[in-house]
Amino acid sequence: MQTLIIEGGHKLKGTVKISGAKNAALPLMCACLLTAEPLVLENVPELTDMQTLCDVLGSLGVVSDLSGTTLRLQAQTIHNTRASYELVSKMRASVLVLGPLLARFGHAEVSLPGGCAIGARPIDVLLDGLRALGATIELENGYVHARVNGRLKGAELYLPKPAVTGTENLMMAATLAEGTTTISNAAREPEVVDLANCLNKMGAKITGAGTSVITIEGVDALNGTTHTVMNDRIEAGTYLLMAAMAGDGIMVEGAVSGDNQALLTLMKQAGVRMDKTEKGIFVHGGNGYTAVDVTTNPYPGFATDLQAQMMAFLTQANGTSIVKETVYENRFMHVPELNRMGARLTDEGHCVRVAGNARLIGADVMATDLRASASLVMAGLIAKGTTTVHRVYHLHRGYERLTEKLTGLGARISAGNE
Ligand code: EPU
């Protein structure tokens, strides 16, 4: 199994370029199931999650062709509407095929994704929404069996939680429904907007994406299109925090400030100096930052996907910060690992007390999920001595060419084996 070996204490400098967004590319790829015509996606990141989803789509009959960062997908002949446990269990976002398959073919069977390291992550919001659109849903042998006689029917949906992939799945399903669907308390994440923009180019009639009420007027059929995937705001946020913590002047090229307002506001409060330019966001290096309290929330709140990285940054601030997680019940697995490196974090259930000015020392640490892994890399960059991050495959799911990008900034980082 691969590890990542980091020699800490080298200041980072230069430019890092942000890749296409994993969490935008995944639903966009599934949108190909809504039409027999080709869907061409540009700015697709090279990540294991993309490959996993290509395998899922391929098992259904989708033909895919990746050339650089351009991915061409065509769901002309779908010979199978069952997404198997073997594939779905590798990545829960595979459940995004359910809405499109059901809408276009009238039936789909998708393995229930099950729990994951960061929490239970049920899909009841999606299943209740599909039922309201007229589908019959049965759970049998760990699979969701979804069926509809004729077309789905537009309906007024209220989501008890603004689930992101839940909103995306229902929005895709509703594009081919008969009549109008409204989704209230919809997720407002920029990835939902990116998907709506692409679907509209495919001939869908969606308004309100990015607000909590999305309206979808169903159409008879969709066409193919070409769409550029938005830049990854979580990758950008990770590098912004890394630049503040371990940098000496870094341009985060392609970072879109509008997508990261909650983070940028807190970073400014902490005393990080940043310049917004046409190219991206330049972060002046520094130290002597001030502790700030953080609470994760659905967009436009502070992203749970940046909580671990923010915590790593706050270990270096002056004073005590409180980091509260409200989206997931179990997303503090990085806490004991960071403490092994000398951080002074106290897990108090739904929040963590971060005592600042910690002197971090290199250690062997275990990556437990994608974002937790990023926080360990950040800590390793400033720690005294060598840090070895184990189970680094988590990082390859969401950070394109991380080692290469960090080496480009002057980090001493290399891949190892165990
Ligand atoms: N929830 C429910 N019922 C549902 C759906 C969600 O109670 O039917 C709850 C979950 O239990 C959880 C919260 O809502 O507490 C988050 O929802 P979910 O697990 O459904 O998240 P998601 O939409 O599947 C996306 C991102 C995640 C990100 C979350 C929250 C994608 C592919 N994934 O997941 O990204 O954390 O939204 O912002 O878009 C990551 O990239 O590291 C990652 C985990």
Report how far ligand 1's centroid is from the alpha carbon of 50 (Å): 18
For residue 145, the cross-strand partners are 109, 138
Q: Would you give per-residue pLDDT tens digits along the chain (418 residues)?
A: 889 999 999 999 999 999 999 999 999 999 999 999 999 999 999 999 999 999 999 999 999 999 999 999 999 999 999 999 999 988 999 999 999 999 999 999 999 886 566 666 789 999 999 999 999 999 999 999 999 999 999 999 999 999 999 999 999 999 999 999 999 999 999 999 999 999 999 999 999 999 999 999 999 999 999 999 999 999 999 999 999 999 999 999 999 999 999 999 999 999 999 999 999 999 998 889 999 999 999 999 999 999 999 999 999 999 999 999 999 988 999 999 999 999 999 999 889 999 999 999 999 999 889 999 999 999 999 999 999 999 988 899 999 999 999 999 999 999 998 8
Q: Please name the residue whose Cα sits nearest to atom 13 of ligand 1.
A: 327
Q: Please name the residue whose Cα sits nearest to atom 25 of ligand 1.
A: 164
Active site residue 54: no
The answer for 191, left when phi > 0, alpha when psi is -120 to 50, beta otherwise, is alpha
Q: State yes or no: cis peptide before 160, omega within 30 of 0.
A: no
What is the spatial distance between Cα 274 and Cα 249, in angstroms, rounded to a whole number? 10
Ligand 1 neighbour 163 (Cβ under 6 A): yes
Helix, coil or strand: residue 342: coil
Q: Quick one: angle between helices 370-382 and 307-314, nearest 10? A: 20
Q: Please name the residue whose Cα sits nearest to atom 11 of ligand 1.
A: 121
Ligand 1 neighbour 164 (Cβ under 6 A): yes
What is the spatial distance between Cα 99 and Cα 287, in angstroms, rounded to a whole number? 48
Closest C-alpha to 103, from 156, 179, 170: 170
Ligand 1 neighbour 23 (Cβ under 6 A): yes
Q: Are 110 and 83 in contact (CB under 8 A)?
A: yes
Atom of ligand 1 nearest to the CA of 370: 42
Kindly report the pTM of this predicted structure. 0.97
What is the spatial distance between Cα 49 and Cα 400, in angstroms, rounded to a whole number? 11
What is the spatial distance between Cα 46 and Cα 25, in angstroms, rounded to a whole number? 11
Report how far ligand 1's centroid is from the alpha carbon of 163 (Å): 6
Instruction: Give the torsion through C-alpha atoms of 256, 249, 285, 19, to 10 deg.
Output: 30
- Residue 126 DSSP class: H
Ligand 1 neighbour 124 (Cβ under 6 A): yes
What is the spatial distance between Cα 118 and Cα 107, in angstroms, rounded to a whole number? 30
Residue type, position 366, single letter: M
Ligand 1 neighbour 26 (Cβ under 6 A): yes
Report how far ligand 1's centroid is from the alpha carbon of 326 (Å): 12
Say which residue the tokens 């769901």 belong to. Answer: 75
DSSP for 70-96 reads EEEEE-S-----EE-HHHHTT-GGGGG
Structure tokens at 354: 């971060």
Ligand 1 neighbour 8 (Cβ under 6 A): no
> What count of other Cβ atoms lies within 10 Å of the Cβ of residue 297?
15
Atom of ligand 1 nearest to the CA of 121: 11
- Residue 398 DSSP class: T
Ligand 1 neighbour 174 (Cβ under 6 A): no
* 140, containing H or E segment: strand 136-140
Q: Where are the alpha helices (DSSP H) in 202-323?
A: 233-246, 261-270, 307-314
Longest dimension (CA), the chain: 64
Ligand 1 neighbour 31 (Cβ under 6 A): no
Closest C-alpha to 296, from 283, 280, 287, 309: 309
Q: Quick one: angle between helices 233-246 and 261-270, nearest 10? A: 10
What is the spatial distance between Cα 324 and Cα 199, in angstroms, rounded to a whole number? 35
β-strand 70-74 against 294-295: which pairing, if any? Answer: unpaired
Ligand 1 neighbour 120 (Cβ under 6 A): yes
Closest C-alpha to 216, from 172, 162, 164: 172
Atom of ligand 1 nearest to the CA of 398: 41
Report how far ligand 1's centroid is from the alpha carbon of 305 (Å): 10
Q: Quick one: angle between helices 370-382 and 233-246, nearest 10? A: 20
Report how far ligand 1's centroid is from the alpha carbon of 159 (Å): 13
What is the spatial distance between Cα 15 and Cα 253, in angstroms, rounded to a whole number? 7
Which residues, at least 6 apart from 190, have a Cβ–Cβ distance to it below 8 Å? Answer: 24, 210, 230, 233, 259, 299
Ligand 1 neighbour 398 (Cβ under 6 A): yes
Report how far ligand 1's centroid is from the alpha carbon of 270 (Å): 28
Buried b (16+ CB within 10 A) or exposed e, 253-276: bbbbeebbebbbebbeebebebee
Helix, coil or strand: residue 326: coil
Closest C-alpha to 209, from 225, 221, 197: 197
Instruction: Give the torsion through C-alpha atoms of 375, 381, 386, 391, to 10 deg.
Output: 30
Ligand 1 neighbour 350 (Cβ under 6 A): no
Catalytic one of 30, 32, 116, 351: 116
Chain-centre distance for alpha carbon 197:
18
Report how far ligand 1's centroid is from the alpha carbon of 16 (Å): 28
Q: Please name the residue whose Cα sits nearest to atom 36 of ligand 1.
A: 305
Atom of ligand 1 nearest to the CA of 164: 23
Say which residue the tokens 């630049």 belong to. Answer: 243
